[in-house]
Structure 1
Amino acid sequence: MKHIIIAFIFTGILMSCNSSDKKNTTTENSSEMETTEKRTSNDSIRELKSIVTDADLIATALLSAPEESRSESKVIGYNMKGEFVTLKEGNNEFIILADDPNKSGFSAACYHKDLEPFMARGRALKAEGKTPQDIFEIREEEMKSGALKITTGATLHIYYGSKTAFDPETFKVDGAKLRYVVYMPFATSESTGLPEAPAASNHPWIMNPGTHRAHIMISPLPEEK
């Protein structure tokens, strides 16, 4: 009888130990999972940086160009001192206009080098104090007279957004997205078959039809976060 009682007591002690071990193991596992989740969450939140140097201007502007062309693209624009300069030399078909650090929001544009005379003319007229409508009318007349030219099919890529903070590892500007323009001087809806308003946010359409600034607009859907 004494042996049976001792056996029962021993069994009870073993069960109690097992139960305690399971609780400890569960608590440890839960704690490890919590730590891992916190670490993963912290790793995914990368601190953004403000544009404060010319190098920042160049790095963020380059994202407006196709990835394979960035290293050889020329970058121009206002530096942090407010001077319009060549920020980076290049030797391919693209010229990139960096974001103006003195304006709110972010906007960088990459365009085919054949568009530079047209773009430079616009900048010069603006510097003279001409209004956007004045610039439009002057370049319209110069295009019609042949004094100014736009190569049909030349492209413009615009990387833009309401914020200027960027990821220092990828150089992506927070919330910025791309919009594409294909210049088709004096083209119309009838000559291209494109509507004058987008059927959806990522569908092409023609803007300024029938004028020197007629162009196909394409606004891709924003990336999912």
Structure 2
Amino acid sequence: MKHLLASLLFSTLLISCNTSDKSKATSAESTDAKTTTETVAKTEKQLKPIETDEDLIATALMAAPAESRATSKVIGYNMAGEFVTLKEGDNEYIVLADDPKKDGFNAACYHKDLEPFMARGRALRAEGKSAEEIFATREAEVKSGAIKITPGSALHIYYGPNSMYDAETSKVDGAKLRYVIYTPFATSASIGLPETPSAPNHPWIMNPGTHRAHIMISPLANEEGEN
């Protein structure tokens, strides 16, 4: 009788161990499957290079407010290296596309009234003028009234170190938004902002007292722009 009870106890323990081992194996397989699924999901978000004029337009428009992208004008260098109108538009925004020949990504959106100021800068750069020469020339022209900058005009800059983008959302990998609000000839004393940021994401005035005086609002270091 004792031998029979011992045999039954041993059999029960053996079945229990086998069941436990199978449960662990199933759990491990389930974890592996979950990991594989997550990896595949991440891989499915395919990033592609900016390699066509359509890519340039799609990514540049991320600098504009979402509700205005369909009717914003897009200008800039096309893939052939020509400065052209990439897309016509009829609202208040002009969008400057990323230059495909430069590293990283940098697109900008601004009010159409700023175009004479922006165009003048592009023309002077094309003439080979230095940053200092461009600054001095436009300073004199703004002071004389040849170029006008409306106080409060905004510049939206969509920028980042990469040039790959998600074709579904048009978002550029790692790109963020920062904002410039032009306040010609304003100073820290006249508008009450410091000349350096008090903390990340805080507004401050740059180039105070000049034609290029502007309020800077930059994103946090680890913050991606909401587009």
Q: Which amino acid aligns with 1:50?
A: P
Cα deviation for residue 5 of structure 1 reads 4.5
Aligned residues: 223
Q: 1:135 and 1:192 mapped to 2: Cα distance?
A: 26
Partner of 1:115: 114
Gaps of at least 5 residues in structure 1 are none
d(CA) in 2 for partners of 1:162, 1:36? 32
Q: 1:15 aligns with which of 9, 13, 27?
A: 13
Counterpart code for 1:113: K
Residues 19-51 of structure 1: CA deviation (Å, up to 9, x unaligned): 212211221121111121222133224342211
Contact 2:176–2:223 (Cα < 8 Å) also in 1: no
2:182 matched residue in structure 1? 183
- 1:155-193 CA distance string (max 9 Å, x none): 001111222122233322222221110000111111011
Q: Which moved more, 1:63-72 or 1:97-106?
A: 63-72
Partner in structure 1 of residue 212 of structure 2: 213
Deviation at 1:130, TM superposition (A): 2.2
Match of 2:160 in 1: 161
The CA distance in 2 between the partners of 1:211 and 1:202, in whole Å, is 23
Checking the alignment, whether the CA contact within 8 Å between 2:154 and 2:181 is kept in structure 1 is yes
| Residue segments in structure 2 that go unaligned for 5+ positions in a row | none
Shift of 1:223: 4.5
Letter in 2 for 1:109: A
Partners of 2:200 and 2:218 within 8 A in 1: yes
Matches within 5 A, 1:4-153: 5-6=3-4, 8-45=6-43, 46-153=45-152
Separation of aligned partners in 2, 1:154 and 1:99: 21
Provide the secondary structure at the position in 2 that maps to 1:181: strand
Partner SS for 1:166: strand
Deviates more, 1:78-87 or 1:169-178: 169-178
In the alignment, the residues of structure 2 paired with residue 41 and residue 200 of structure 1 have an alpha-carbon distance, to the nearest angstrom, of 37
Q: Which deviates more from structure 2 when the two are superposed, residues 145-154 or residues 125-134?
A: 125-134
Higher deviation after alignment, 204-213 or 4-13: 4-13
- Write the distance in 2 (CA, Å) between the matches of 1:205 and 1:222: 16
Provide the aligned C-alpha RMSD in A: 1.9
Distance of 1:222 and 1:87 partners within structure 2: 32
Cα distance, 1:150 vs. partner? 0.7
Structure number with bigger Rg? 1
Residue 11 (structure 1) shift: 4.5
Letter in 2 for 1:182: I
User: TM-score, normalized by length of structure 2?
Assistant: 0.90
Distance in 2 separating the partners of 1:60 and 1:47: 15
- Give TM-score scaled by structure 1 length: 0.91
